[in-house]
Each structure stands twice: as structure tokens, then as C-alpha cells.
Amino acid sequence: MDYDAMDGLEDAGPRVTVRQAARDRADFTMEGVDLAFANSLRRTLLAEVPTMAIDLVEVQANTSSLADEFIAHRLGLIPLNSKNVDDVSYTRDCEYCEQYCEHCSVTLDLHARCTGDEIMKVYARDLVVSEPRPNEWVGMPVITDSLGLGSVICKLRKDQEIRMKCIAKKGIAKEHAKWAPTSAVGFEYDPHNKLKHLDYWYEEDPVKEWPKSANAAWEDAPQDGEPFDYSAQPGKFYFDVESIGNLEPDAVVLQGIKVLQQKLALVIQELSGDDRNGDADGFGGPRSPDGMQAGGDFGMDQGYTTPFGNTGGQTMYGGGTTPFGATPYGQSGWQ
């Protein structure tokens, strides 16, 4: 990295300008940071901010037309309130249980039975949170519609019934999209393309075929005949964070910065030669609730290691073996 280019940034410091703030959306600009930091924050907001989501479903009765797995998948995608989610332990770190308890999970009960001739809809509002739980907020289904119904889980005909016990756990979107705190994170810099980082494909006129975004009004347009500045660096970044309701957008950003700080602290700890356990110092960063490296040691797993391995030089997508035997993918000796 060119540290000389960051001298001015260090003196000025980061600056944030909030352009729009709502219950489910935050639009802001960030200055005084470089492109690497801004993009790291964007990626963290998308994949590494911890939230609550239903992870286990114990089916006690299901006579609906939908399979157990289908309903369990739908339950997992229902947003759950994740305010003060730091009060919830990851299941792998829980000192009180091996699978789930009130310290690392929230239990929700679902019981619905249709007794009439009309089709009955089962909504997210029918999920009943059981006590105790880590705090008064986590685990409550997020309901934003005007009728207060929430997402549709399934439909029942007369005499059909579902009865399920749902276990919500803490996790991150890197492991599964159900833990995503945002539906989208808009990110843009250099809206006039002065830096020429984009090479627009066009047929006749790129100006007409590629209209400028609304962020272009926040920067000066290039002048005709203006010479290209080879030393220019992007210095203003535009974020548009849209929450799905489990966390307020400002809380998503603050949690993202916190996670990024933890990851950087872990890097500094490793480079300094400190062999203390990162998790004990609070620098372990977010991970999946049940992720495990081979041998049962979580180490620096960031949520993408499975209980079946992916160790050594293999990646999460490749590797010569699976828990079901050898595969031709990733083997160096495959012909």
C-alpha cells in the first residue's frame, strides 16, 4: 500500500454526512478515507454484521400441503429483531449448553390449526416468543405492514395443523443469507468517472446512453479539455444502506465498523507476535453459530468453514475430498 498517499487522510480524519435517514434506510457520504477502507466497510455491512434468525426447527405436527423443509426454510427467512444482539452468545462459545439455551438462542413456538371452511393463512405474528431470553428485544418477528400480520408462512385448509418449535440463533450472512442485516447496500464513488475506473460500452454517445446518478450533483463535472490527473484518488464515497428491519440502519453501520475494528485488531495482534487466543480478547470477529474447523478448534474461522473440513490448502469451494468420499475436483493428481 502507498502510505504516502494517506498522509492527508490521516490529518483530516474520516467525515460522514448523512443525507437521508429513515426507519429502514440511511443515505450518507464518507470522506477522509481511501477506497480500500470504504469497500471493506461495504463488504462488512453485507456479510459480517451479526443478527438473529431461526436456525433450527423441531417439527411436532405438520399436516399442511407444504413439506417440513419448505416451511423451515420460510421460517428462517423471517426477519427477527436483533437489537443489542451482543447480549446473545454464539452457540459455539456458549458455556451453558451444547446445542441451545436461553443464553445463546431464542425459542419461538408456532401452533396453528384451521377449524373453518375458509382457507387460513399463518403469519409471522403467530410466532410466540418464549421466555427467558438474553434481552427484551431479540427474537421478536419484524412486522412492518399496516395490518400487523408480517410474512405469510403457509396456508391451511380445514383440519390441517402445524405445530413447530423454532430456535433462533446468532449468525452472519457470510454463513447464510437469512442472517443478512441489509437487503442492499448502495455504493458509488466518482460519479462523473473522472478517474476512468469504468470503461463504458456504448454504441454512439456514452453521455446519453449512461445517464449520471443523483450523486453526480454532489461533485463538480469535468471541464472540456481538462487534462487527466494520474495521481488523483477517490476521496468521497456514497453509501445507501437499506435494512430489512432486524436492525436500524444506523445500528448496522455502527456494528459494521465495530466488526471491522475487531478484524483489524486481530491482524495487528497476529503481526505483533502475540499468541494469545483472539476470541478471549474479543478480537475473534463474527462467525457462524455452528462453524467448526477440523479437530474441533474454531481458531480464526470467520463463518465459512464446515464441520467436515476445508483445511490445509483447500478452499471452501474445492478440495479433493468431501464427507462422502473423494471427488475429482481439486485433486492435484486428477487426470
For the entire predicted model, the pTM comes to: 0.74
Q: Please write the tens of the pLDDT for every residue from 301-314.
A: 444 444 444 444 44
Q: Please write the tens of the pLDDT for every residue from 148-201.
A: 999 999 999 999 999 999 999 999 999 999 999 999 999 999 999 999 898 889
Single-letter residue type at 243: S
In sequence order, which ranges of the chain are alpha helices (DSSP H)?
Answer: 7-12, 35-47, 68-76, 206-209, 249-271
Q: Please write the tens of the pLDDT for every residue from 200-253.
A: 898 998 888 989 999 999 998 888 888 888 999 999 999 999 999 999 999 999
Q: Please write the tens of the pLDDT for every residue from 57-85.
A: 999 999 999 999 999 999 999 999 999 99
**Residue whose C-alpha cell reads 474461522 in the numeric block:** 301
Q: Please write the tens of the pLDDT for every residue from 258-291.
A: 999 999 999 999 998 866 554 544 445 555 565 5
Rg of the chain over Cα atoms, rounded to whole angstroms, equals: 24
Give the whole-number percent of the chain exceeding pLDDT 90.
65
Strand spans (E) along the chain? 15-21, 25-31, 51-62, 105-113, 120-123, 128-129, 152-156, 161-171, 182-189, 236-243, 321-322, 325-326
| Contacts of 249 by beta carbon, 8 Å cutoff, 6+ apart | 21, 22, 24, 25, 26, 182, 241, 242, 243
C-alpha cell at 143: 412486522
Whether residue 326 has pLDDT greater than 60: no
At residue 40, the 3 state secondary structure works out as helix
**Residue whose C-alpha cell reads 463504458 in the numeric block:** 200
- Answer whether 128's CB lies under 8 Å from 109's CB: yes
- Residue whose C-alpha is closest to residue 179's, from 318, 253, 82, 257: 82
DSSP conformation class of 74: H
Q: What is the pLDDT of residue 273?
A: 82
Q: Please write the tens of the pLDDT for every residue from 5-43.
A: 445 544 568 899 999 999 999 999 999 999 999 999 999
Round to whole Å and give the CA distance between 94 and 192: 50
| Contacts of 304 by beta carbon, 8 Å cutoff, 6+ apart | 174, 175, 288, 291, 310, 316
Q: Which of 187-209 are b and which e, b meaning 16 or more Cβ less than 10 Å from the residue's Cβ? A: bbbbbeebeeeeeeeeeeeeeee
